[in-house]
Amino acid sequence: MNLSTNTRRWVVLAAVFLNLALLYGIWYSYAVFLVALLQEFHWSRSVLAGAFSVFILVNGAISPIVGWMAGRLGARRVMLFGGVTLVAGLFLAAHTSVWWHLYVAFGLIASIGLTSAGWLPSIIVVRAWFLDRVGMAVGVVSAGIGVGIAFVVPLMQYSIGNVGWRWTFRLVALAVVIWMLPATFALIREAAPEYIPPDTTNRPAWRDALGAALRDRRYWYLGGVYAFGNMVTQLLFVHQIAYLVDHGVAVLAAASVAGVAGMASIVGKVGWGSLSDRYGRELAYSWAMACLVASVGVLVLAGQYPESLLPFVYAVLFGLGYAGSAALTPAATSDLFAGPGFSTIFGTFQTILAVGAAGGAWLAGKIFDVTGSYSLALWLALAGSLAAPALMWLAAPSRALRVSGTVFPSSPLKR
């Protein structure tokens, strides 16, 4: 089927959107698997959260390699490899009987698969098709993650309640086989070379580009944004259901809170992305993090009033705040470090992201094991929510766009 360039890029956008909905529905469903595994095996929360932390650390460790491979071999091939590997990891996770099985099957193998199939190669593909609207395009496809959180997470809880967590792992692996692999093969294409504007700036090769980025203080400021922002979001994502259940919210209702957060993030990702294209990443990110700060306070109140609507108010605020962290950092990376080294540089940011995210998820579990409460973890989340936007202003991606002259003619940033 021959499609025009404009039609093709929207087909790619839609396919990536749906892929990310499934893949990150799996990622964020770990919160409901954690509750089921806790009930069956009675392992400590730090052990169970540790499996997810390993998952994130593996994601971060291999992301620069995945970025380099996507640049050399093509993102689509890397995605197909990742889908097959993810299926293997999920089937193996269904046979967990001791804690290290979960660490190997989900923490290692499934992580390699999801990293190779998911966010990083998807952003590389979409960015190349939408160089004129990076913020909007990243916002749209990252909204697919929100769809996954909104629908897949509650569906996983329903499935666990009816057929058990083992068969749920198998069924979600089957979903990858039925949708993600065929869709990637048939619908996703990488932008033709002639569609990408030629580079006339004589930028260095990717090794030199990476070296130059590492010597740039803006790289480290943005790295701090990745670390602190994702420390907060993953801490809350992994432990929010357990926190609410501990404070008297029914398990299915708590899983529904995660779904509401996912729905709110859909609006937030598209909205923050489009807003950032017009008014700058810094302003949009600051508003998103303000929502995250508010969500922490509301979560504390929700624990005191579990039968009120406060858990769902928390979910909306958290979804909007998380949306900014997910949608705006890739766009800021593109603003600051466009060029032949982008895929590798973006991969290194995923490593920094993983350290923050894994640290937040594990540390919250450890804090609970030691103190019997999430109170200190919530203070940690609040601090991270304030640090991340401050660092985004220091990185100043909008200034880079002004210097390069690539902001849209109608944008206030041009003035």
pLDDT at 192: 57
What pLDDT, on a 0 to 100 scale, did the predictor assign at position 205? 59
Q: How confident is the prediction for the chain on average, in pLDDT?
A: 85
Q: Looking at residue 173, what is its pLDDT?
A: 95
Any idea what the Cα angle at residue 79 is, between residues 1 and 227, rounded to 5°?
135
Least confident of 165-169, 254-258, 361-365: 254-258
Q: Is residue 218 part of a domain?
A: yes
The pLDDT of residue 203 is above 80: no
Q: Report the CATH number that the domain containing residue 30 is assigned in CATH.
A: 1.20.1250.20
Domain that holds residue 270: 8-190+211-408
Q: Is 396 domain-assigned?
A: yes
Residue 206 domain flag:
no
- What does the radius of gyration of the chain's CA atoms come to, in whole angstroms? 20
Taking only the tens place, the pLDDT of each residue in 51-85 is 888 898 898 889 889 988 888 888 899 999 999 99
At 196, the pLDDT band (50, 70, 90 cuts) reads very low
Which comes out higher in pLDDT, residue 315 or 238? 315
Could you tell me the pTM of the whole model?
Answer: 0.74
Alpha helices (H) in 149-216, listed in sequence order: 153-175, 181-187, 206-214
Q: Select, from the ranges 120-129, 148-157, 338-347, the one with the highest average predicted confidence (pLDDT).
A: 120-129
113 within some domain: yes
Number of domains in the chain: 1
Question: What pLDDT, on a 0 to 100 scale, did the predictor assign at position 175?
Answer: 95
What six digits make up the tokens of 322? 């998380």
Confidence of residue 401 (pLDDT cuts 50, 70, 90): low
- In this predicted structure, the answer to whether residue 202 has a pLDDT above a threshold of 60 is no
Distance (Å, whole) CA 404 – CA 401: 5
Mean pLDDT score, 176-203: 71
Task: Kindly report which listed range (30-39, 289-298, 336-345, 396-405) carries the lowest average pLDDT score.
Answer: 396-405
- Rounded average pLDDT over 202-217: 73
Of 228-232, 277-281, 315-319, 406-410, which gets the smallest average pLDDT? 406-410
Is residue 157, in this structure, part of any structural domain at all? Answer: yes
Residues with Cβ within 8 Å of 341's Cβ and at least 6 positions away in sequence, in order, are: 203, 204, 205, 206, 207, 208, 209, 210, 213
79 located within any domain: yes
Q: Who's near 384: CB < 8 A, 6+ residues apart?
A: 228, 229, 231, 232, 235, 356, 360
**Is residue 373 in a domain?**
yes
Q: Is the pLDDT of residue 107 over 90?
A: yes
In a domain, 21, yes or no: yes
* Integer CA distances (angstroms), 261 to 148, 167, 241, 268, in order: 11, 26, 12, 10
